[in-house]
Amino acid sequence: MSEPLPGAKEHIDAALRQSAVIDDLPADTALIPIAKVGVIGAGTMGGGITMNFLTAGIPVTIVEREQAALDRGVEVMGKNYAASVKRGRIEAADAGAAMARLTPALDFSALADCDLVIEAVYESMEVKQDVFSRLDAILKPGAILASNTSYLDVDEIASVTSRPEAVLGMHFFSPANIMKLLEVVRGAKTGASQLATVMQLAGKIRKVPVVSGVCHGFIGNRMLAKRQEQANALIMEGAAYFDIDQVLLDFGFPMGPFQMGDLAGLDIGWHRDPSKVTTVREALCAAGRWGQKTGKGFYDYDENRQRTPSAEVQAIIAEFATREGVPQRTVTREEIFERLIYPMINEGMLILDEGIAQRASDIDLVWLNGYGWPAWTGGPMYWAAHQGLDKVVAGLKRYGLPVCDKLARDAG
């Protein structure tokens, strides 16, 4: 870790206070009482979301399609609480009381009396619209309908309901019972009371809420996509994927992009056709390299999940570079760093310019609390300002990367 940037801690403290303030929301906005929450989906994300409310003393009805999946989800939550008891993070009595607040169900009708329902189903617009249409017909007047979508258009989801003012996004981060960030996605028609209620509720479940407007990927994933684009391009040009990860580890991230892919699972979103290979990731999936879950992804993993670089993966990448006609060269650590980080800053400036985020410090909170951006820097936007925006602009131009108007203007 480098020396903390001057004022970084004070900046983060101020950002936490400011993030709860929504510029056009009156301070006396009426709140909706939340006595009972519903969660749809008992998988990893749905279970984690549920635990937040159970721990905070709020009863939850969790709904799954099949009994086996429901039982499995409840069992995992029980084991997670047991592990927390063993580590001394929670008293056994409190863990038991939390699980006693849980009502498992197989039918949407069990959600009829919930004040807030959060769906954590498959990331598909068709699937989510079906869920919201069904919820609209069942839920009581005044109930809030929230989507845990990571990317999808919340306004499009709301369009299938008769109450778009009740719809917003609540994007939790995995593992949802541990990660602090909650991106609260405000739709074009989201009501003031609904938004204010969810922002206050976030504090009750010990989350750091940041309001985002509607766009693909919202704040965090939209910026992450720019970093991943460059990481993918760099491995084709000759940079080793493990060197790319190491550059970010040395900066202070808990993991690099290829480690992150292995942890999440390279098969997420894969079309499952081993004969159709158009990207390095698809080639790895076709070779059974799905990440830590199969013991091999970009890296090979031992029984303790310790990673080592893979010669097979390096050969696959080299083959792709040859096929695409990309000349190989030596890529410096400085270039790796600048090409990963500077496009994120540019995208952050676009997000501000478009009004997706209210303030630069909100973007900092997203990355500090959801993506492991090193706290000593104060967050990406604070860090960039201290580096000098003119330096960021020069770096982007050096690599032929876009510079948005706001970044160019602010850099002077």
Peptide bond into 175 cis (omega under 30): yes
- Distance between CA atoms of residues 227 and 225, nearest Å: 5
Residue 129 CB neighbours (<10 A): 17
Determine how β-strand 181-185 pairs with β-strand 167-172: antiparallel
Hey, which residues does 176 pair with through a beta bridge?
none
Strands 307-309 and 299-301: antiparallel
CA distance 157 to 149: 10
The H-or-E segment that residue 366 falls in is helix 360-370
Helices and strands of the chain, counted as H and E runs: 17, 10
Identify which of 257, 265, 311 has the alpha carbon closest to the alpha carbon of residue 292: 265
Q: Which of 391, 374, 358, 337 is nearest to 8 (CA)?
A: 374
Question: If 0-12 CB within 10 Å is exposed, 13-18 middle and 19+ buried, where does residue 387 land?
Answer: middle
Query: Phi/psi of residue 296, each to 5°?
Result: -160, 135
Q: Take residue 152 and report the two structure tokens written for it.
A: 């999808």
Please pick, among 171, 216, 271, 386, the residue that the annotation labels catalytic.
171
Question: What span, in angstroms and rounded, lies between the C-alpha atoms of 328 and 321?
Answer: 8
Q: What DSSP letter does each residue of 45-109 carry, written as one string?
A: HHHHHHHHHHHTT--EEEE-SSHHHHHHHHHHHHHHHHHHHHTTSS-HHHHHHHHHTEEEESSGG
CA–CA separation, 230 and 350 (whole Å): 18
User: Does residue 271 have an active-site annotation?
Assistant: no
Is the distance from CB of 84 to CB of 63 less than 8 angstroms?
A: no
List of residues 6+ apart from 248 with CB closer than 8 A: 255, 256, 257, 340
Q: Which of 368, 365, 347 is CA-nearest to residue 356?
A: 347
Active site residues: 171
